[in-house]
Amino acid sequence: MTDRVFVIAEAGVNHNGSLDTAKELVDLAASAGADAVKFQTFSADNLAMESAALADYQRLSDSDARTQHDLLRELELSHEEFRALRAHCDSRGIAFLSTAFDLEGLDFLVTELGIPLVKIASGDLTFAPLLVAAGRTGLPVILSTGMADLAEIDRALRFIAAGVAQAHGAIERSERLTADVLEQAWRRRDEFVDFAQHVTIFHCTTQYPAADENLDLRAMQTIASTFGHRVGYSDHSLGSLASVLAVGLGAIAVEKHFTFDIHAEGPDHAASLDPDGLHAYVADLRRVPAMLGSAQKRCQPVEAGNRAVVRRSLVATRDIAAGAVITEEDVACYRPASGRTSFDYWEIVGSTASRSYRRGDLIDD
């Protein structure tokens, strides 16, 4: 990731189980200028019990009797289809990412598809075996924190640190990760990687769509100050404003769902951007770093020529004899600023004129 905000176009499961649609989503993300397009790699059998109920946002209606397992089964893509997606991303010049929801999926994404980073979904922030496995990959990790508090984030980071320690042989993979072992890994977390740079913590509100009053964007600053890590934002709100504000508050990466039809059936379409919205979203985010600019307050080069035009000088309002005491009635502040600055008004008023002035002369005493 560079100083430019890293934009992840979240296709997720908005392909509705169709490889052709997934490829078209890749094309859309690439044309919009996103840095990466992200999918979700899971097996319904490994993710949810057959009796697990749908979340409210996943229901098509109050009478929707499907289970999470039913829904997930409809949205699965096979490993072969993911291989085709990865190849299509390569052909379009956009990074391929996918969130793994089980250990098998993570191994597939890392060893076969060569993902550049690991994304942990908010729902898996407490899935300790996956957190440890993510740390073992050696890849940068994005940890999404929807539904979490600071204590849970802290604990999740410790499991990732344990995985990093295992990858470097500091902890045996067969060793039980007791509280003492986790603490040992935590104390050594910077021996093998710059851990604060290695794990980017994404603020998130797990609701689709998320209302403005539930976004708490300033929580990113709390996360950053508490843990010292880089922060990002997983945006489930409507429109692009929240992501733009998030970058202004310090997010170095953002992700946002997108789709071809926000009215399509599926759990994430309603909280997604349509094609025009995605293009506008990326374009807006590309402008933010330039707008934030430097923290230094100075006269910009583009402003310099305007200083003389819009600032003021001290000007004689009537004739003043040399040696006379200059009064308030003798001077005024007028544009342009080509004479003595009007900051000096009270230094001039009450002083003795060193020379004579005609009405309209710039005061240069």
Q: Provide the CATH number for the domain around residue 132.
A: 3.20.20.70
* 248 lies in some domain: yes
Tell whether 173 and 234 lie within a shared domain. Answer: yes
H or E stretch covering 301: helix 301-310
State the helix-helix crossing angle for 275-292 and 19-32, rounded to 10 degrees.
Answer: 30
CA distance 315 to 151: 65
* Same domain flag for 172 and 306: no
| Predicted local confidence at residue 56, as pLDDT | 64
Parent domain of 198: 6-292
The answer on 324 and 194 residing in a single domain is: no
pLDDT, position 47: 75
Question: Do 222 and 342 lie in a common domain?
Answer: no
Q: What is the pLDDT of residue 266?
A: 84
- Residue at which a domain ends, from 267, 292, 317: 292
Distances (CA, A) of 18 to 15, 24, 44, 313: 5, 10, 16, 71
What is the pTM (predicted TM-score) of this model? 0.89
In-domain check, residue 356: no
Q: Do 257 and 287 have their domain in common?
A: yes
Q: Are residues 283 and 340 in the same domain?
A: no
Q: Where are the beta strands (DSSP E) in 149-226?
A: 199-204
Query: What is the distance between the alpha carbons of residues 331 and 350, in angstroms, rounded to a whole number?
Result: 11
- End of a domain among 262, 292, 322? 292
pLDDT > 70 in the chain, percent: 95
**pLDDT < 70 positions in the chain:** 1-2, 46, 49, 52, 54-65, 68
Give the count of domains, the chain: 2
118 and 206 inside one domain: yes
Q: Are residues 309 and 182 in the same domain?
A: no
Per-residue pLDDT, 1: 38
197 and 216 together in one domain: yes
Among the listed residues 140, 138, 195, the one whose alpha carbon sits nearest the alpha carbon of residue 166: 138
**Domain assignment present for 46:** yes
How many CB atoms are closer than 10 A to CB 253? Answer: 23
Q: Is residue 361 part of a domain?
A: no
Can you point out the beta strands (E) in 184-297?
199-204, 231-235, 251-257
| 344 assigned to some structural domain | yes
Residue 276 forms part of a structural domain: yes
Structure tokens at 347: 């230094």
Q: Could you tell me if residue 320 is inside a domain?
A: yes
Q: Please indicate, yes or no, whether residues 127 and 209 belong to a single structural domain of this protein.
A: yes
Cα gap 144→351, rounded to integer Å: 67
Residues 213 and 194 in one domain: yes
Distance CA 259, CA 34 (A): 14
C-alpha pair distances (Å), 36 with each of 31, 116, 190, 214, 290: 11, 10, 28, 27, 21
Q: Mention every residue, 6+ apart, whose C-beta is less than 8 A from residue 327.
A: 349, 350
Q: Are residues 242 and 209 in the same domain?
A: yes
Domain membership of residue 362 (yes or no) is no
